[in-house]
Structure 1
């Protein structure tokens, strides 16, 4: 646990700095892509791949990595660019999302870049609703400024294993169910797939979701309520926010909310595909009330009920 806390401290000793690290790579073309280093376990050369008859077409095969059988996903094919050709430049990025380990087959890995979330922008609206990007940024490559596309890995994974919205019966508290209808929850996430999963899960119980795509949008809404003299906790039951978002991440958003006396008591749940003890420690350090692993409907409803239980009892 000491090592975990040391790692948390190293990443959050300047909480509110609003920074991230991107792993940049190619997908068999000259266009650079990226994912957040937070999700990456390691990068290795392509191991021997075993075929899986009947598996999803985007899964290139299965590899034994550090004693574990891990699916290897062709990332180029997954985002609609056609299968990547095997070459000496190809690599495998081993990642952890939503309590599962998977690897992505990519081309040449470029570098890791430390940068501010304010340098990350939403994809242009002209890219359409079905694009596989959560954000874009601009970086210098060999003296030229080029666009880097940040992949919506959650969408890629959801197309291989569909996300769940059904809630186990033993999770539901029959005494609270009547109080759920009409409640409002602020959902902050840059991934359209993640936003849809939260909204579809909670709407079954009559909960209205107010959707914002990043921390800056959410903070603007919260401050506007405060400026109008409204009590934020009367407007929404709680805020469910992603950790990683363009312009302002969930940690910075939480820091800003806690620093404003007008809304510092807002109940905040961090809903992230990052998982494990590291993130539980991170949540405690930055001042969130709860940590939820993404795409876990039972955990999501449990958190909503826990907050509702507090409100009903008060």
Structure 2
């Protein structure tokens, strides 16, 4: 089977099954094992002098380790490759998580805050309902790139080695790629590597969301908003979904009790996001997934 055919099967399997609790309540999820690798590197290397150099060595270890693990696992055969790839894709679980926020908001603000705290790292305790909804939509659009399109892209390019190397780097960035006293230097290399491997997938995700949202004609405005975003990559899917839904996203938010004045994405859009806005975003994520699958099928048939 071709890489495209294996990827098609993995995408469909993930969409059908997602993250079965009965399995991951008994076995450690691969993402947990990757997180333990990152923690070991952090505790082993993140001390003393030359933290940036040590952090670059940690980033290289994640990249090379992922490539080697993926190469070894690829010998298990195509069925195992499909199963492993499906486990490391996250379309169904990502949509379920943001829908949970909409359900929580439908019950009470406190339930919405609790649900969104499971998927974002910002402070949620003092959020208003529109802030909760915006956070869920932002998380959904960003994770469409990080959790679906980027791993699928790297699997198509380089098979399981590419997919697992990407997930190792992305997991590292989510754990040590922060601008704070502990990780400003040590996490620099992993954060920059993560920026690099997400460069094309983030823009592809933005194009997919703009296409299904009917906002491709606004691509120059989407690009302008994306470039104002604090992240070189997350702004692309976020700006695309913001234009499609007619909403303002991003903007000021609190981390560790400190308000940060981030720029708005689609500043002229509505700032009154609701649980219904989250459901509309969830539908868009599925339509973008469907478009990606259709393009992949066409690619497999042609090549």
TM-score bin (small chain): under 0.3
Structure number with higher relative contact order (C-alpha < 8 Å, ≥ 6 residues apart): 2
Greater strand content: 1
Greater helix content: 2
